[in-house]
Amino acid sequence: MEEVQRHSVHTLVFRSLKRTHDFFVANQSLLPEMDENLEKSKYSIKARDSYGLVFDRVANAKNVSIRRSEVLRTEAGPNPTQDHMLAITAGGEQDQGANTQSALLPVGASQSSQNTNSNTVQILPKKAPTIPKPKWHAPWKLCRVISGHLGWVRCVAVEPGNEWFATGAADRVIKIWDLASGKLKLSLTGHVSTVRGLCVSPRHPYLFSCGEDRQVKCWDLEYNKVIRHYHGHLSAVYTMALHPTIDVLVTAGRDSTARVWDMRTKANIHTLGGHTNTVASVVCQAANPQVITGSHDSTVRLWDLAAGKSMCTLTNHKKSVRSIVLHPSLYMFASASPDNIKQWRCPEGNFIQNLNGHNSIVNTMAVNPEGVLVSGGDNGTMFFWDWRTGYNFQRFQAAVQPGSMDSEAGIFAMTFDMSGSRLITTEADKTIKIYKEDDEASEESHPVNWRPEIIKRRKY
């Protein structure tokens, strides 16, 4: 048996190429002829496919310029050169002849030159951005401190009739207070851990609560007892919101989801999943997006309530979003994060502006119909902003209860009453504080410190 001679890969490839060349060398000069019409049609199809929109625009621009020149020709008459009306005149008819040499252009000449160069782009001078002056708002002052809870007061909700408000705390108790006098009316017990969220229904005698015990409860205020439980959350429930027009409740928490409940049947209609960390804030409105959530994953999501899916995810924040607030009359909302507060326009979530100044975690925000936006920080700082311009017209440090440590100055929740004239805050020193506008203040005593040149440098 003969041994097969081994060759290198290079030799084998070279032999294969040589055989291929010898096989096809006879047909090398018999290439098919080029069809010029076919090549032209091929290139025109490619150009139309890639640049069809540009071709249409150029053709439309040419047609417009032709029509405009025809109209000018008919308006000018048989001898348009005799019309010496000037583009810029100075004085009456006696000055017109004297200023012919100094005029910029005759009207006919300027129009004809525009027609001949219709395809050129005219660059207009850009207007400098104008910053509107903020509306004057009276400063706010502390008018009442209410104590009664035995733990951090984590949430607050005002009754639609504006007669009382409810607070929930780490002592597991929900307390109902008279808004006018600040006296305790009722204590509701039932949660076995911190109460983190409260809502009062405007159409039913119901109070809804949620807490770190994973429970969501519906209280009947005619009997002052729990009538429904909503089971489904896998971890602590941190926030809740009622839909303003339909009987739907939305809750969210540490399991990174927001759940939509039928208020009466207790059915879990949707589980809004998509966040990758704790959902810290949820709000509802009648128009789209009907549900908006803010999460510790530093995103804000806008949800389609009918489909149960996310419409849009806003990723502008760099840190966790702990608070979202809707404007009561404008189609806008704001989201708060330790980096800054951002304002957005619905329904697409278009970014409007940043509100800078807080140097701490922003736990909560509230806005009233007058356009006063208030934000509360984890270190007890409160900032008052003009919603339209983002001007910070007041800031102060909330005073802690005597005997408390300075570290217990955190503000956990805040809300305006139904009139927008009183602000209720719940804090880490176990107190509830009520603020109102200073009646004695005026624009002369507290002027707007408006310095647009500094704001321009900061913004642009």
Q: Express each pLDDT in 105-154 by its tens digit.
A: 444 444 444 444 445 455 656 555 567 788 999 999 999 999 999 999 99
Name the burial class of residue 390, with classes exposed (0-12), middle (13-18) and buried (19+) by CB atoms within 10 angstroms of its CB: buried
The pLDDT value given to residue 94: 44
pLDDT for residue 89 is more than 80? no
Name the burial class of residue 149, with classes exposed (0-12), middle (13-18) and buried (19+) by CB atoms within 10 angstroms of its CB: buried
Higher pLDDT, 183 or 51: 183
User: What is the sign, positive or negative, of the torsion defined by CA atoms of 93, 99, 100, 104?
Assistant: negative
In sequence order, the 6+-apart residues with CB closer than 8 A to the CB of 376 are 362, 363, 364, 365, 382, 398, 411, 412, 413, 414, 425
pTM over 0.75: no
Least confidently predicted of 57-71, 96-110, 113-127: 96-110
The pLDDT value given to residue 31: 64
Query: Tell me, what amino acid is at 439?
Result: D
What average pLDDT does this structure show over 233-250? 96
Q: Mind listing the pLDDT tens digit for each residue in 161-202? A: 999 999 999 999 999 999 999 999 999 999 999 999 999 999
Distance between CA atoms of 426 and 1, rounded to whole angstroms?
A: 99
Percentage with pLDDT > 90 across the chain? 62
Count of other CB atoms within 10 angstroms of residue 91: 9
Least confidently predicted of 22-36, 293-307, 444-458: 444-458
The pLDDT value given to residue 430: 94
The pLDDT value given to residue 153: 97
What average pLDDT does this structure show over 353-379? 94
End-to-end Cα spacing for the chain? 88
pLDDT for residue 57 is more than 60? yes
Largest Cα–Cα separation, the chain = 122
Distance between CA atoms of 157 and 176, rounded to whole angstroms?
A: 10
Distance between CA atoms of 386 and 450, rounded to whole angstroms?
A: 12
- Joined tokens for residue 435: 């603020």
Query: Tell me, what amino acid is at 360?
Result: S
pLDDT for residue 458 is more than 80? no
Most confident of 14-28, 32-46, 102-116, 337-351: 337-351
CA atoms within 13 A on the CB side of 174: 30
Higher pLDDT, 125 or 160: 160
Number of H helices and E strands in the chain, helices first, is 5, 28
Phi and psi at 19, nearest 5°, equal -65, -40
Query: Nearest 10 degrees: CA dihedral of 265, 271, 272, 276?
Result: 140
What average pLDDT does this structure show over 291-310? 96
Helix axes 107-116, 36-76, angle to 10 degrees: 170
Name the burial class of residue 13, with classes exposed (0-12), middle (13-18) and buried (19+) by CB atoms within 10 angstroms of its CB: exposed
The pLDDT value given to residue 43: 81
Please give the DSSP secondary-structure letter assigned to residue 62. H
Query: Tell me, what amino acid is at 222?
Result: E
Distance between CA atoms of 329 and 178, rounded to whole angstroms?
A: 27
Q: What is the mean pLDDT of the chain?
A: 85
What average pLDDT does this structure show over 15-23? 83
pLDDT for residue 104 is more than 50? no
The pLDDT value given to residue 123: 61
- How confident is residue 206, by pLDDT bands cut at 50, 70 and 90? very high
What are the domain boundaries of the chain?
Answer: 140-437
Percentage with pLDDT > 70 across the chain? 83
- Class of CATH domain 140-437: mainly beta
User: What is the sign, positive or negative, of the torsion defined by CA atoms of 329, 330, 335, 338?
Assistant: negative
The pLDDT value given to residue 280: 97
In sequence order, the 6+-apart residues with CB closer than 8 A to the CB of 73 are 80
pLDDT for residue 454 is more than 70? no
